[in-house]
């Protein structure tokens, strides 16, 4: 069983995020996208559960910094990694990224492609399914559970609906799933494993090597600018120590709930 | 024959509320863009939904789906053909779990412009949209040069819903959809009914990621009850397996409408805020003064949630 | 002395005859052989351990080791700690046994060596009299010690003597270690029987011979009195019977030593000789040549020979069991039971496939030895995770067992296998990502200084006298930040030239290492060492005892050797030098909590108390103080766990202890984690009205700055 997991090195969303002067990007620290930890874990468990064994390949689009995300995945148990170096896609536009991923994934001929539902920074919830569209793969978005029939290799998946409900679907492979958080418990990548993971195969290739001409890279949108949200703090801020805050909160509750 | 094409969303025999919001957005653009608004109704036995289509829509494109329930690949195939046949200028759908499964694929296959989770649309000889960036810490403004068609998914709650239903002309569209379905619907599984009803509570005490100790949960549940309310949570606590999804507020949980929503340690991710937009009063306590929740809350306090919980317990004697 | 003195002796083999004498020799030699084989078997068992006993950089110091063990053997000071009566009883047994044993050897030396080889006999006359005297005293002391121990066992309700395992439920078969209790009684009874039969034998001989100088063999003489007049034949029969009984018991005990509780005579002594004074304070790095293998202890084969020896050294004295904060608060861990469980596994495995026969053939079940030591019917992982690495067990162990470091090695493997608490996992991921356990941006590390009305020097840009390593809690926790700001104001008021490294600092790694994430510790330490080496300074200051410990004890090995001091030491220095003056004595009754990492880890008990006295406080000690201080529950990474478990929080147990003190309303701490833990515990236990928490610095500030030394007035 061959699995490809598409991952993203994302910006750490914290209060230190600062807009750059050109208004087109921000400075931040990086981490592996939260959702991708779950899709990777799902892939590892499927590989471990497959009697015939298998291979988990992680793929990302990004600059050298993005290799940290790949190393983390290798440390958790992925077998090898591919980084698509494409400075022309630096803006992270969904359809362009999907096209680059498609070119790389196609070569791997996987049984299953897994993506996170979305990335925590851009939150487009689109790259995985755009990739499936490009590859013409059956796909299910927002999956919280996967079972694989060992004989046929076909999948039963639980597509998450709102409020704890789900739709159960049968899917034939090859296919693509986008995995929801909370679907499993991602394993720990300890530092020793991370060190050893640096020895695992990590290929870097450009778009030309993938046979994707610059003119063939689609662009779904153009970023005109970034700005801080206008709303800011709409709330009336309560002041005081914990006891004073509690008293104020009690007052609001009494006044507005009982009304 | 350019138009604004709205993709209707149905589930288990009902037209979903989000469709009205998307129609509302489309109607808002109608004047400036001078484009008619059409609704693509792709479903099995679509007639049953016709009565719910809002007034003001110029026509309904009736597409009979071979699949009994929503099926992402049927939608994808149908929209691809509709884009080719109808050449819409805009294709609008809700940014919902169903749309996640087809909208990006449609854009990728049809080579259209694309943006998801769109919070606002302006018209300036074409769509100009905003969406959140970096976890909604920033706002990104996007345009779509050289695209004759743009697919957008719209953030739930960001657009006013269209008014009541009215009579809308229907046009049957014949598409090649045989064999389009690529998944097999086996069944729906409903959430386990635990008797917890956060949807109708008048006071919700809601805890989020800031509440990082599982064994403290009973204490918050008790506090909620003593205040006369119900405990609810944000997604991370459900993901951690600490709480059942019946208590989850947000896009993937429940939409709640309490009189007072007391959010402790909830930073306010978009998905969560989508679930509380009908709350009358939102009181937020968070350590991060720049947490997005303060942008929607009526009252805010920068404090440690455990301290506030202690003090609230104190007020109850 | 003449004739009379020459007769002052006794026959060794009285009336035995050549065949029985020969039989005796055969039996005695057999017992020595069984003993020797047992010892060889033990030594070979320890040799199976592949782990490294000492770090490569430490050279062994045999004279020191032997001297240390000898000193403890003679004084038994460690055995007497927190157990005076039992300690003295043990000393009685020890001296009695040793003297009697030496006596036997001295006698055998003449009978079997000097007499047959050189024809030299010394077992008569004054020597014989002194010998008898010594052995009588020794025997009496032995009996008294044994009786005292028996009375203690029969009457004491001490938790130390309760062998029930906290890591098993009462209905589980392994819960009750009754077999150990039987073994203890058997051991005591056997020794008592040997001693008593020896005395009776002496009495019978005296009654028969009536040598007339029984006064010097008081015990034997006393026993002889009622026997005087009993028929010669009866006495002779009794004497024969007793001789064999006594003799066979004695040689059986000798043979049994390596196989029973008596083995502690050998193993505990050896363990003591090879004990590590830095155990727990300085955890061993992964040896460079083992970097490719899974770290820590997974199976018994991974253990170091020294740790395998320690498993056998345990005497079940129960001191660690009593001192352990996890055990005391209902967590499924007792250091004693952990050691015993591992020992049982080692012995079971070492016994080999076919039990005794396998043992005799030296066969061992490789599969069993290499099996994981952790499992549902073995050592349980939640036991290993319950430990707070507070070192209370290591510190009190009279025989030098390193429970906490062994647990640390077990954790290293669990971390490598990914078997860790969810909260701990996410904290470790956070530390790896952001360099702090709070998940805050690196750039916010210096943010706490914004509440000051002066700027704290960036030590990376300007040389300073004191480089302040702030640590995570003191930098990020809102309550602990107050204490940090207080310390900054005091240092400024005293004119100390100090600076911090702002975002250049990382989590020090002390607790990361104690959790068992050795790789992350190394990475943090390397980053900190590089950052510190980039600064110019004289000394390093920290208010965090955890950071202090690792900077002081563990960084040197990685190339970071500096003078590191705790803020209580610096504050005392400033007070002593008069750079800080107490304006308004506080006149309060305070109790002081010794942080594990300052007290037990650094041996620093007095400076904080002296400061309190200088401030005018009366220090009232809690029952558990100084080396017996009770962990707040945060140690060993437990502060990061999602699931706490246990019946009572250690911090609440401690607060209960403090509020039990008469008229004490001030709880003084000197560790940022303690500030956080005890503020919470005072609140959750509803003691806000009864006791107030203050960080040492805050007290100093209120006493010193009352003098009108306003912020920034000096310097």
Whether residue B295 and residue A138 make contact (CB cut-off 8 A), yes or no, is no
Mutation for testing the B interface, residue in A22, A145, A220 having most B CBs under 10 Å? A220
pLDDT digits (tens, 9 = 90+) for C384-421: 999 999 999 999 999 999 999 999 999 999 999 999 99
Q: Chain A contact for B246, CB < 8 A?
A: yes
C-alpha B159/C-alpha B116 separation (Å) is 14
C-alpha C27/C-alpha C22 separation (Å) is 9
Residue C642 distance to chain B (closest CA, Å)? 5
For tokens 């929209």, the residue is B79
Confidence of residue A243 (pLDDT cuts 50, 70, 90): confident
Q: Give the length of chain A.
A: 259
Q: Residue C600 pLDDT > 50, yes or no?
A: yes
Q: Chain C contact for B313, CB < 8 A?
A: no
- Angle, CA of B208, B211 and B214, to the nearest 5°: 115
Nearest to A124 among B116, B135, B296 (CB): B116
Q: What is the pLDDT along chain B (317 residues), one digit of tens a residue?
A: 589 999 999 998 899 989 999 999 999 998 899 999 999 999 999 999 998 999 889 999 999 999 999 999 999 999 999 999 999 999 999 999 999 999 999 999 999 999 999 999 999 989 999 998 888 778 899 999 989 999 999 998 889 988 877 888 899 998 999 888 999 999 999 877 777 888 888 899 999 988 877 778 888 999 999 888 899 999 888 888 888 888 889 877 888 889 899 999 998 887 788 888 888 889 999 988 878 888 888 998 998 888 898 888 888 87
Touching chains, A (3+ CB pairs < 8 A): B, C
Closest CA to A157 of A132, A124, A133, A179: A179
For tokens 């009457």, the residue is C155
Closest CA to A218 of B177, C132, B150: B150
Residue B167 distance to chain A (closest CA, Å)? 30
Q: Are C471 and C542 in contact (CB under 8 A)?
A: yes
Q: Distance of CA C649 to CAs B310, C185, C330, C644, C685, Å?
A: 17, 36, 9, 8, 10
Q: Residue C151 pLDDT > 70, yes or no?
A: yes
What pLDDT does residue A26 have? 66
What pLDDT does residue C1 have? 35
Specify the pairing of strand A26-27 against strand A30-32. unpaired
What pLDDT does residue B39 have? 96
Higher pLDDT, A244 or C567: C567
What pLDDT does residue C360 have? 47
Nearest to B311 among A11, A230, A245 (CB): A245
What pLDDT does residue A231 have? 60
What pLDDT does residue C643 have? 78
- Angle, CA of B85, B86 and B90, to the nearest 5°: 130
pLDDT digits (tens, 9 = 90+) for A169-208: 999 999 999 999 888 899 999 999 999 999 999 999 999 9
What pLDDT does residue C357 have? 47
Touching chains, B (3+ CB pairs < 8 A): A, C
pTM of the model: 0.89
Q: Are B219 and C680 in contact (CB under 8 A)?
A: no
Nearest to C519 among A12, A14, A192 (CB): A192
Residues of C in contact with B287 (CB under 8 A): 478
User: How is C452-486 classified by DSSP, letter by letter?
Assistant: SSSPPEETTTS--SEEE---HHHHH-HHHHHHHHH
Percent of chain C with pLDDT over 70: 94
Mean pLDDT of C82-88: 94
Phi, psi torsion values for B260, nearest 5 degrees? -125, 130
Provide the token pair at C669. 């701490």
Q: Are B150 and B93 in contact (CB under 8 A)?
A: no
Q: Are C192 and C144 in contact (CB under 8 A)?
A: no
Q: Chain B contact for C215, CB < 8 A?
A: no
Residues of B in contact with A123 (CB under 8 A): 117, 132, 135-136, 270
What pLDDT does residue B95 have? 94
Mean pLDDT of C100-115: 86
- Angle, CA of C293, C294 and C297, to the nearest 5°: 120
Confidence of residue C4 (pLDDT cuts 50, 70, 90): very low
Whether residue A193 and residue C416 make contact (CB cut-off 8 A), yes or no, is yes
Q: Residue C2 pLDDT > 90, yes or no?
A: no
**What residue of C is the nearest CA neighbor of A190?**
C416
Q: Distance of CA C394 to CAs C159, C275, C339, C390, Å?
A: 18, 10, 12, 9
Mean pLDDT of C62-79: 91
Whether residue A125 and residue B69 make contact (CB cut-off 8 A), yes or no, is no
What pLDDT does residue C215 have? 54
**What residue of A is the nearest CA neighbor of C447?**
A16
What pLDDT does residue C83 have? 92
Q: N- to C-terminal Cα distance for chain B?
A: 69
Percent of chain C with pLDDT over 90: 68
Q: Residue C282 pLDDT > 70, yes or no?
A: yes
Mean pLDDT of C68-91: 93
What pLDDT does residue A24 have? 64
Nearest to B252 among A134, A162, A222 (CB): A162
Q: Distance of CA B186 to CAs A125, B176, B237, C189, Å?
A: 25, 24, 29, 74
Compute CA A201 distance to the chain's CA centroid, rounded to the nearest angstrom: 21
C-alpha A189/C-alpha A182 separation (Å) is 18
Whether residue A190 and residue C422 make contact (CB cut-off 8 A), yes or no, is no
Whether residue A191 and residue C517 make contact (CB cut-off 8 A), yes or no, is yes
Q: Is A232 exposed, middle or buried (0-12, 13-18, 19+ CB in 10 A)?
A: exposed
pLDDT digits (tens, 9 = 90+) for B183-213: 999 999 987 777 788 888 889 999 998 887 7
C-alpha B113/C-alpha B151 separation (Å) is 6
Interacting residues of B195 by C-beta distance below 8 A, sequence separation 6+? none
pLDDT digits (tens, 9 = 90+) for C348-359: 776 543 344 444
**What residue of A is the nearest CA neighbor of B184?**
A170
Mean pLDDT of A58-70: 95
pLDDT digits (tens, 9 = 90+) for C558-592: 999 999 999 999 999 999 999 999 998 999 999 99
Q: What is the dihedral of CA C26, C30, C32, C33, to 10 degrees?
A: 130
Higher pLDDT, C609 or B275: C609
**Average predicted confidence (pLDDT) for chain A:** 90
C-alpha C586/C-alpha B77 separation (Å) is 81
Residue C427 distance to chain A (closest CA, Å)? 11
Q: Are B63 and B173 in contact (CB under 8 A)?
A: yes
Residue B161 distance to chain C (closest CA, Å)? 39
Mutation for testing the A interface, residue in C286, C413, C418 having most A CBs under 10 Å? C418
Q: Cis omega (within 30 of 0) on the bond before C315?
A: no
Residues of C in contact with A15 (CB under 8 A): 441, 444
ipTM of the complex: 0.89
Q: Which runs of consecutive H residues, i.e. helices, occur in C552-685?
A: 567-576, 606-614, 650-659, 672-684
Coil, helix or strand for A46?
Answer: helix
C-alpha C678/C-alpha C650 separation (Å) is 10
Q: Chain A contact for C240, CB < 8 A?
A: no
Residue B267 distance to chain C (closest CA, Å)? 14
CB atoms within 10 A of CB C119: 7
Closest CA to C250 of C200, C181, C197: C197
Query: Using the 8-state DSSP alphabet, how is residue C445 labeled?
Result: G
Q: Is A139 exposed, middle or buried (0-12, 13-18, 19+ CB in 10 A)?
A: buried
Signed CA dihedral, C348, C349, C350, C355: sign only? positive
Q: Distance of CA B286 to CAs B202, B239, C435, Å?
A: 22, 20, 23
Whether residue A133 and residue B104 make contact (CB cut-off 8 A), yes or no, is yes
**What residue of B is the nearest CA neighbor of A223?**
B142
Q: N- to C-terminal Cα distance for chain C?
A: 87
C-alpha A145/C-alpha B235 separation (Å) is 17
Mutation for testing the A interface, residue in C432, C442, C447 having most A CBs under 10 Å? C432
């Amino acid at each position: 069983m061959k699995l490809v997991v598409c991952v993203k090195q994302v910006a750490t969303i914290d209060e230190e995020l600062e807009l750059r002067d050109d208004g087109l990007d921000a400075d931040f620290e990086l981490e592996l996208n939260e959702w991708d930890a779950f899709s990777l874990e799902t892939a590892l468990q499927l590989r471990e559960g497959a009697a015939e064994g298998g291979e988990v390949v992680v793929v990302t689009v990004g600059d050298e910094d993005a290799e940290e995300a790949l190393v983390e995945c290798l440390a958790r148990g992925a077998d090898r990694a591919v980084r698509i170096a494409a400075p022309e896609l630096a803006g992270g536009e969904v359809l362009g990224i999907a096209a680059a991923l498609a070119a790389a994934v196609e070569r791997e001929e996987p049984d299953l492609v897994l993506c996170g539902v979305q990335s925590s920074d851009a939150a487009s919830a689109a790259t995985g399914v755009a990739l499936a569209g490009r590859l013409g793969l059956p796909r299910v978005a927002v999956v919280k559970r996967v079972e694989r029939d060992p004989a046929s290799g076909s999948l039963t998946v639980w597509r998450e609906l709102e409020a704890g409900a789900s739709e159960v679907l049968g899917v034939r492979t090859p296919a693509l799933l986008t995995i929801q958080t909370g679907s499993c418990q991602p394993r720990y990548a300890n530092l020793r494993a991370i060190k050893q993971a640096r020895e695992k195969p990590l290929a870097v290739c450009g778009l030309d090597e993938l046979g994707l001409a610059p003119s063939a890279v689609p662009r779904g949108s153009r970023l005109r600018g970034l700005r801080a949200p206008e709303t800011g703090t709409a709330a009336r801020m309560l002041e005081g120590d914990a006891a004073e805050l509690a008293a104020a909160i009690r007052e609001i509750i009494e006044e507005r709930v009982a009304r | 024959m350019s138009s604004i094409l709205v993709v209707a969303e149905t589930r288990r025999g009902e037209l979903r509320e989000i469709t009205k919001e998307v129609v509302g957005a489309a109607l808002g653009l109608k004047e400036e863009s001078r484009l008619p608004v059409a609704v693509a109704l792709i479903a099995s036995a679509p007639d049953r939904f016709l009565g719910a289509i809002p007034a003001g829509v110029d026509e309904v494109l009736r597409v009979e789906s071979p699949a009994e329930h929503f099926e992402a690949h049927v939608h994808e195939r149908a929209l691809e053909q509709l884009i080719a046949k109808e050449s819409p200028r805009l294709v609008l759908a809700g940014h919902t779990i169903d749309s996640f499964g087809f909208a990006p694929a449609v854009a990728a296959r049809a080579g259209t412009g694309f943006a998801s989770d769109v919070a606002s649309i302006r018209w300036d000889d074409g769509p100009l949209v905003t969406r959140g960036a970096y976890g909604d810490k920033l706002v990104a403004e996007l345009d779509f040069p050289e695209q004759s068609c743009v697919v957008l998914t719209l953030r739930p709650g960001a657009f006013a819903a269209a008014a009541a239903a009215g009579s809308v002309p229907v046009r049957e569209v014949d598409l090649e959809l045989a064999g389009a379905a690529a998944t097999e619907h086996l069944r729906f599984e409903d959430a386990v009914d635990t008797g917890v009803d956060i949807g109708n509570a008048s006071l919700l005490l809601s805890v989020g990621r800031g509440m990082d100790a599982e064994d403290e949960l009973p204490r918050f549940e008790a506090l909620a009850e003593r205040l006369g309310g119900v405990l609810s949570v944000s997604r991370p606590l459900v993901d951690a397996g600490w709480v059942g999804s019946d208590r989850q507020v947000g896009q993937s949980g429940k939409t709640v409408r309490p009189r007072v929503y007391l959010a402790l340690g909830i930073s306010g991710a978009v998905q969560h805020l989508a679930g509380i937009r009908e709350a009358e009063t939102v009181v937020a306590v968070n350590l991060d003064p720049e947490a997005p929740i303060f942008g929607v809350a009526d009252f805010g306090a920068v404090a440690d949630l455990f301290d506030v919980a202690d003090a609230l317990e104190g007020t109850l004697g | 002395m003449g004739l009379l003195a020459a007769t002052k002796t006794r026959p060794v083999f009285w009336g035995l005859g050549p065949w029985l004498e020969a039989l005796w020799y055969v039996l005695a030699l057999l017992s020595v052989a069984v003993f020797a084989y047992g010892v060889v078997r033990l030594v070979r068992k320890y040799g199976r351990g592949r782990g490294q006993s000492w770090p490569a950089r430490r050279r062994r110091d045999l004279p020191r080791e032997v001297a240390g063990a000898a000193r403890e053997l003679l004084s038994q000071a460690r055995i007497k700690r927190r157990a005076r009566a039992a300690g003295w009883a043990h000393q009685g047994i020890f001296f009695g046994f040793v003297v009697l044993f030496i006596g036997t050897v001295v006698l055998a030396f003449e009978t079997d060596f000097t007499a047959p080889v050189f024809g030299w006999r010394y077992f008569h006359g004054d020597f014989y009299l002194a010998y008898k005297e010594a052995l009588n005293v020794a025997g009496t002391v032995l009996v008294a010690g044994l009786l005292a121990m028996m009375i203690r066992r029969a009457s004491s309700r001490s938790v130390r003597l309760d062998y029930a395992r906290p890591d098993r439920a009462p209905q589980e078969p392994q819960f009750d270690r009754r077999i150990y209790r039987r073994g203890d009684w058997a051991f005591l009874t056997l020794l008592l029987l040997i001693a008593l039969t020896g005395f009776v034998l002496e009495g019978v001989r005296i009654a028969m011979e009536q040598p007339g100088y029984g006064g010097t063999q008081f015990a034997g003489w006393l026993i002889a009195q009622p026997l005087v007049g009993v028929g010669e034949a009866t006495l002779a029969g009794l004497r024969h019977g007793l001789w064999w009984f006594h003799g066979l018991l004695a040689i059986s005990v000798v043979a049994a030593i390596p196989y029973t509780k008596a083995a502690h005579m050998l193993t505990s002594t050896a363990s003591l000789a090879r004990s590590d004074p830095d155990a727990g304070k300085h955890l061993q790095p992964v040896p460079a040549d083992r970097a490719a293998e899974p770290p820590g202890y997974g199976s018994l084969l991974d253990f170091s020979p020294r740790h395998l020896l320690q498993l056998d050294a345990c005497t079940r004295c129960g001191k660690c069991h009593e001192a352990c904060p996890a055990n005391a608060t209902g967590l499924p861990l007792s250091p004693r039971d952990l050691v015993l469980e591992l020992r049982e596994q080692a012995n079971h495995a070492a016994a080999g496939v076919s039990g005794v026969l396998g043992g005799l053939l030296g066969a061992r079940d490789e599969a069993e030895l290499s099996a994981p030591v952790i499992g549902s019917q073995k050592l349980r992982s939640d036991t290993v995770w319950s430990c707070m690495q507070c070192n209370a067990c290591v510190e009190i162990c009279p025989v030098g067992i390193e429970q906490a470091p062994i647990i640390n090695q077990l954790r290293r493997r669990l971390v490598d296998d990914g078997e860790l608490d969810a909260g701990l996992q996410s904290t470790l991921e956070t530390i790896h990502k952001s360099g702090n356990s709070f998940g805050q941006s690196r750039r916010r590390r210096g943010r706490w200084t914004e509440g000051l009305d002066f700027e704290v020097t960036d030590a990376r840009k300007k040389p300073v006298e004191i480089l302040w390593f702030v640590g995570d809690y003191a930098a990020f926790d809102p309550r602990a930040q107050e204490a940090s700001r207080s310390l900054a104001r005091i240092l400024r008021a005293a004119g100390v030239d100090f600076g911090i490294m702002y975002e250049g600092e990382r989590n020090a790694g002390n607790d990361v290492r104690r959790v068992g994430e050795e790789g992350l510790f190394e990475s943090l330490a390397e980053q900190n060492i590089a950052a510190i080496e980039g600064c110019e300074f004289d000394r390093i200051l920290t208010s965090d005892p955890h950071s202090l410990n690792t900077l002081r004890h563990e960084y040197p090995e990685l190339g970071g050797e500096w003078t590191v001091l705790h803020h209580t030491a610096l504050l005392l220095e400033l007070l002593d030098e008069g750079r800080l003056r107490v304006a308004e004595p506080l006149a309060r009754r305070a109790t002081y909590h010794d942080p594990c990492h300052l007290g037990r880890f650094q041996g620093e008990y007095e400076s904080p108390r002296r400061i309190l006295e200088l401030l005018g406080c009366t220090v009232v000690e809690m029952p558990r103080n100084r080396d017996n201080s009770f962990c707040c529950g945060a140690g060993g990474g437990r502060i990061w766990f999602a699931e706490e478990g246990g019946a009572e929080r250690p911090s609440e147990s401690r607060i209960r202890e403090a509020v039990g003190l008469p008229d004490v309303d001030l709880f003084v701490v000197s560790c940022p984690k303690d500030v956080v833990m005890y503020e919470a515990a005072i609140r959750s236990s509803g003691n806000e009205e009864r006791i107030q928490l203050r960080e040492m610095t805050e007290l100093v500030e209120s006493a010193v700055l009352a003098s009108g030394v306003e912020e920034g007035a000096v310097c």
